[in-house]
Structure 1
Amino acid sequence: MITLDDLEIIKSALECDIIRQKQNEKADHPAFKKWLADTEKLHKKVSNEIITRKAKIKILEKMKF
């Protein structure tokens, strides 16, 4: 199972990749645009998973009290 820390690392790597893709000289090439769109879509999924997991952790912590 992927841990929350693993997801944070993946998110950071995806953010760096998105920046590099946008700065690439071939950024206007259709294949690059597709890859960028796929990367941004994955980044959104990972970000949403992080938010969901953190919310679950907070809820569980509040239930302990």
Structure 2
Amino acid sequence: MALKEYFASVKGSGVLSTADDQGKVNSAIYAAPYPLENDLFGFIMKARKTHENIAVNPNACFLFVETG
């Protein structure tokens, strides 16, 4: 099953962990990502710490837990 199909078929929430340019880690709770083109996925986020971290360090980890 492709990730696009998977996220369209399940409910749940996830934790997106990022780090700034000094290595200080931040984690935030998010809903399932939404599909973009070319096998990319996006998240809706406010301009807070996670958004700042992604701008300076594109490495991240996303943990998704299905409901039920």
Superposition TM-score tier, normalisation by shorter sequence: under 0.3
Higher strand share: 2
TM-score (ref. length: structure 2):
0.23
Bigger Cα Rg: 1
TM-score (ref. length: structure 1):
0.24
